[in-house]
Amino acid sequence: MDSVSVSFDSSPDSIARPRHDWTRPEAETLYDLPFPDLLFQAQTIHRRHFDPNRVETASLLSIKTGGCPEDCGYCAQSAHYDAGVKATKLMDRDAVLETARRAKEAGAGRFCMAAAWRHPKDRDLDRVCDMIGAVKALGMETCATLGMLTPEQARRLQQAGLDFYNHNVDTSPEFYGKIITTRTMQDRIDTLAHAREAGLKVCCGGIIGMGEQVGDRLGMLLLLANLPAHPESVPINLWNEVRAVPVNDTAERPDPIALVRMIAVARIMMPKSVVRLSAGRQYMTDELQALCFVAGANSIFIGDLLLTTKNPQTVRDAALLDRLGMTSPLDGAKAPATSLI
């Protein structure tokens, strides 16, 4: 371990003001702490801001699948690769609303609507705004991920009742060019800024297991933690096996302990952000998920499909949280007899 020390001022004043000046040596020092020390630090910070025994639940629906002009090297929905995903048109409002209703019954507190676009066309945005208003009226939090936004589009979404805008940075600035060439990291940061300026909360994270190094994972966390405001929601995805996409050539399933370390560092560097275990949970054992919750993860997606990839069944999630003595909106919810999506 190097000689950089990371101090944890646990005074209420310090904890109330998350930092935005994290350095790489600090991130590396945290990551390399002995595992029990790292988890203790993460739990201590987690408990200052959250109920440590509770996870939030969100549901994700692909409202427009496939045919995307972007070349994200991990994505089955890119038109650049033949991953066997059929392109669809934008879903009808009523079908979206019915799915949201079922997700709410199954215990989802937030409903995320995803469209495989480079950016929304204004006529499509009208329809999405209509969906957002209808889902919001069900009493759910709303999230959308629609690609790049102009400032005006972000304002329109906010006025329609959107709570969160998801736009992931995916990986570190250094590794980014190996994964995506059709939009820059700066494009992404600009869209995040437009969402912020419009008054939207930001959901932003990335994917691990695409062949990046630990230093890239920390680089991604540094980027997020040093934004002018931390994303309220930080999804951490594990690479899902998708056929015929370039990431297959470099992908490597991360060491589970490395994943827990990364979650813990995210919790420490972004103490007030909700950290979500997102895609790839089907590869995680119950024990690994439990360790991630101890490290500070406090959100999951429910439903047995995440866009085009599998997700654990809601009954398995409810059983795991029950075994762990943890609470979530799944408590007392009606388990779906069929797929939510």
Is residue 279 involved in binding ligand SF4 (CB under 6 A)?
Answer: no
- Judged by CB under 6 A, the stretch of 12-20, 70-78, 84-92, 235-243 that binds ligand SF4 is 70-78
Give least dist CB 72 to ligand SF4, A. Answer: 3
Kindly report the length of the chain: 341
Q: Which residues contact 187 (CB under 8 A, 6 or more apart)?
A: 148
Is residue 333 involved in binding ligand SF4 (CB under 6 A)?
Answer: no
Number of residues forming the site for ligand SF4 (CB under 6 A): 8
CA distance 98 to 115: 17
Give least dist CB 3 to ligand SF4, A. Answer: 40
Of the residues 33, 75, 202, 260, which one makes contact with ligand SF4 according to CB under 6 A: 75
For ligand SF4, the closer CB: 210 or 294: 210
- Judged by CB under 6 A, the stretch of 4-12, 23-31, 75-83, 159-167 that binds ligand SF4 is 75-83
First to last CA, the chain: 47
Give least dist CB 81 to ligand SF4, A. Answer: 9
Helix H, strand E, coil C: the string for the chain is CCCCCCCCCCCHHHHCCCCCCCCHHHHHHHHCCCHHHHHHHHHHHHHHHCCCCECEEEEEEEEECCCECCCCCCCCCECCCCCCCCCCCCCCHHHHHHHHHHHHHCCCCEEEEEECCCCCCHHHHHHHHHHHHHHHCCCCEEEEECCCCCHHHHHHHHHHCCCEEECCCECCHHHHCCCCCCCCHHHHHHHHHHHHHCCCEEECCEEECCCCCHHHHHHHHHHHHCCCCCCCEEEEEECCCCCCCHHHHCCCCCCHHHHHHHHHHHHHHCCCCEEEECCCHHHCCHHHHHHHHHHCEEEEEECCEECCEECCCHHHHHHHHHHCCCECCCCCCCCCCCCCC
For the segment 40-69, give every residue that binds ligand SF4 (CB under 6 A). 68
Of the residues 70, 163, 216, 317, which one makes contact with ligand SF4 according to CB under 6 A: 70
Give least dist CB 314 to ligand SF4, A. Answer: 24
Is residue 265 involved in binding ligand SF4 (CB under 6 A)?
Answer: no
Of the residues 113, 116, 225, 302, which one makes contact with ligand SF4 according to CB under 6 A: 116
Give least dist CB 180 to ligand SF4, A. Answer: 7
Is residue 171 involved in binding ligand SF4 (CB under 6 A)?
Answer: no
For ligand SF4, the closer CB: 46 or 119: 119
Of the residues 41, 57, 59, 78, which one makes contact with ligand SF4 according to CB under 6 A: 78
Is residue 311 involved in binding ligand SF4 (CB under 6 A)?
Answer: no
Q: Report, as residue numbers or ranges, the catalytic residues.
A: 68, 72, 75, 112, 143, 203, 276
Contact code string over 120-149 relative to ligand SF4, x by CB under 6 A: ---------------------------x--
Beta-bridge partner residues of 141? 110
For ligand SF4, the closer CB: 147 or 271: 147
CA distance 260 to 186: 29
Are 262 and 236 in contact, with CB atoms under 8 Å apart? yes
Give least dist CB 147 to ligand SF4, A. Answer: 6
For ligand SF4, the closer CB: 247 or 290: 247
Is residue 192 involved in binding ligand SF4 (CB under 6 A)?
Answer: no
- The count of other CB atoms within 10 Å of the CB of residue 163 is 21
Residues that bind ligand SF4 (CB under 6 A): 68, 70, 72, 75, 77-78, 116, 147
